[in-house]
Amino acid sequence: MIYSRIAGTGRYLPERILTNADLEKMVDTSDEWIRSRTGIEQRHVAGENELTSDLCVNAAKVAIEEAGITVEDIDLIVVGTTSPDLIFPNIATIIQHKMGIPACAAFSIEAACTGFIYALSSADKFIRSGDTKCALVIGAEIITKLIDWDDRSTCVLFGDGAGAVVLQPSDEQGIISTHLGADGQYKDLLYYPVGVSSNLAAAGTGDSRIMMSGNEVFKVAVKTLSAVAQEALDANGLSLEDVDWLIPHQANLRIIQATAKRLDMPMEKIIQTVQIHGNTSAASVPMALDVGIRDGRIRRGQTLLLEAFGGGFTWGSVLLKY
Ligand code: UT7
């Protein structure tokens, strides 16, 4: 049986840090409000000329080095993002060119905050089918370019970053199962009102900002994230005691706490980065994974449950042996 296994990880955060104190000078908010409602203390914001593909390249370089491979080994690139450099060509091809990766399949997936989970699940299927020998999988966003910096209800939440993973085939157990889902009836609760076939003329104007019904999203997020974790465990006949680390989408510390409570999972077994990264959408899970690996908490042989939830709504999980 072929499994796909994580051979290396990496992350990259833009240099500029925006603190809650900085935001207090921009909108009518306070450090106390942001911390108590979201847990967020700071977030990274990309520079004006920085592109999402630049963040991806920096994260991918680290993952490639960690995996002990070269760019020549890569034969698939999958990127989850909502904030690509361009509408086309897809960002995976831009990354391929920037990194000198030889011709191979390269595509991006748009599933909002669940983008990386969708990308990892897709790459897993390519590897297990035998089509792919080495996949570069990335979750990345420069979501702050979609922010209305006068809208205090959203501008305090989001940050930029990229997380990358190198995935290779292995006889040893790696990815155990993946579960993806979506329910388009919730579109109006969380969306960005500019696209190609609708409202293109509004791009860059005051009408183009993230539209979110925070309270409603919060409730569905908690319900879905606990159900998604349970689904992965049930499918494999496991219980939460069998999981060493839960790595959920980092949208809001209160969402993570409420999910943990519903699952009866101790917070000590949950990797948390929302405090220092903010909500980085598709980048949040791979960056949290990398943080846990780098600081030595996540070790080889441990069982990890990755999960995310985002606009659409979309959701998904990846259960794996690291
Ligand atoms: O990745 C998935 C996408 N997004 C999410 O997961 C977000 C999910 N939702 C949330 O995280 C929370 O709903 C928020 C953090 C967005 C908001 O927290 P909340 O506890 O649901 O607050 P609220 O929306 O009920 O607002 C409470 C009050 C309102 O004032 P009034 O109407 O009670 O007078 C808001 O106007 O807080 C006010 N408010 C703020 N005050 C200070 C909203 N934003 C701010 C702010 N600073 N930045």
pLDDT tens per residue across span 53-77: 999 999 999 999 999 999 999 999 9
- Best mutation site among 147, 218, 223, 287 for ligand 1, i.e. most ligand atoms within 8 A of its Cβ? 218
What pLDDT, on the 0 to 100 scale, is given for residue 204? 82
Q: What is the rounded average pLDDT for all residues in the chain?
A: 97
Question: Annotated active-site positions, please?
Answer: 113, 249, 279
Ligand 1 centroid vs 227 CA: distance in angstroms?
A: 24
pLDDT tens per residue across span 110-166: 999 999 999 999 999 999 999 999 999 999 999 999 999 999 999 999 999 999 999
Is residue 206 scored above 90 in pLDDT?
A: no
- Best mutation site among 37, 156, 213 for ligand 1, i.e. most ligand atoms within 8 A of its Cβ? 37
pLDDT tens per residue across span 223-267: 999 999 999 999 999 999 999 999 999 999 999 999 999 999 999
What pLDDT, on the 0 to 100 scale, is given for residue 148? 93
Q: Is the CB of residue 113 below 6 angstroms from any atom belonging to ligand 1?
A: yes
Q: Is 100 left (phi over 0), alpha (psi -120 to 50) or beta?
A: left
What pLDDT, on the 0 to 100 scale, is given for residue 177? 98
Q: Is the CB of residue 217 below 6 angstroms from any atom belonging to ligand 1?
A: yes
Q: Which amino acid is at 319?
A: L
Is residue 207 scored above 90 in pLDDT?
A: no
Tokens in use for 310?
């985002």
Q: Whose CA is nearest to atom 13 of ligand 1?
A: 214
pLDDT tens per residue across span 313-322: 999 999 999 9
Percent above pLDDT 70 for the chain: 100
Q: Is the CB of residue 214 below 6 angstroms from any atom belonging to ligand 1?
A: yes
pLDDT tens per residue across span 266-305: 999 999 999 999 999 999 999 999 999 999 999 999 999 9
Quickly count: other Cβ atoms within 10 Å of residue 1's Cβ: 6
Ligand 1 centroid vs 221 CA: distance in angstroms?
A: 14
- Scan for tokens 């091809």, then name that residue: 93
Q: Give the Cα-Cα-Cα angle 127, 243, 317 (nearest 5 degrees).
A: 45
How many whole angstroms from its chain centre is CA 289?
Answer: 10
What pLDDT, on the 0 to 100 scale, is given for residue 93? 98
CB 4 within 8 A of CB 124: yes
State how beta strands 190-191 and 211-212 pair: antiparallel
Q: Which amino acid is at 29?
A: T
CB 317 within 8 A of CB 179: yes
Is residue 205 scored above 90 in pLDDT?
A: no
Quote the CA–CA distance of 230 and 46 in Å, as a whole number: 36
Confidence of residue 19 (pLDDT cuts 50, 70, 90): very high
Q: Which amino acid is at 67?
A: A
- Alpha carbon of 69 to those of 56, 60, 64, 73: distances in Å? 17, 11, 6, 6
The per-residue b/e assignment along 20-59, b for 16 or more CB within 10 angstroms, e otherwise, is beebbeeeebebeebeebbbbbbbbbbeeebbbbbbbbbb
